[in-house]
Amino acid sequence: MTFHLKPQRIFSEDLRKQIVGQIERGEFTVTQAMREYGIGGKQTVYNWLYRYSRTLKKGTRMVMEKDSQSKTAQELRNRIKELEAALGRKSLEADLYRIIVEQASDEYGVDLKKNFGEHASESD
């Protein structure tokens, strides 16, 4: 029976602090950070959190209340609506520019897209 030892991975202090920051900002959960960076165990990440985190200290409990979760979810839904509306406006704006270019091309008898569009320099 042969055993293969995994090479020991050593994370620099800067990288450990970066990972802790990502967890603090909610970019990763502990498990996601482990997968993303190939960290061996949860305890390793928790040790980094206890050592480097400004907000997450050993013995600290975070109380999550239903109302705060509902409020956060509602804020995210509102942000999605805002972004969808902005996307819709930009889409309409792009359609309007396309129509204006087409009408100007017809009126002046010049293919403006060909002469002044994104790919005009490629065709010259």
Q: What is the pLDDT of residue 69?
A: 72
Percent of the chain at pLDDT above 70?
Answer: 78
To the nearest 10°, report the CA torsion of 112, 117, 121, 124.
-30
Give the start-to-end residue ranges of the domains of the chain: 10-56, 71-123
The overall average pLDDT reported for the chain is 83
Mean pLDDT of the 30-57 span: 88
pLDDT at 2 over 60: yes
Residue 113 makes CB contacts below 8 A (sequence gap 6+) with 101, 105
- Considering the chain, what percentage of its residues have pLDDT values greater than 90? 42
Residue 41, both tokens: 């165990």
Quick one: average pLDDT of 74-89?
93
Global pTM reads: 0.43
Q: Are 17 and 29 within 8 A, CB to CB? A: no
Who contacts 39 (Cβ-Cβ below 8 Å, separation ≥6)? 9, 11, 19, 33, 45
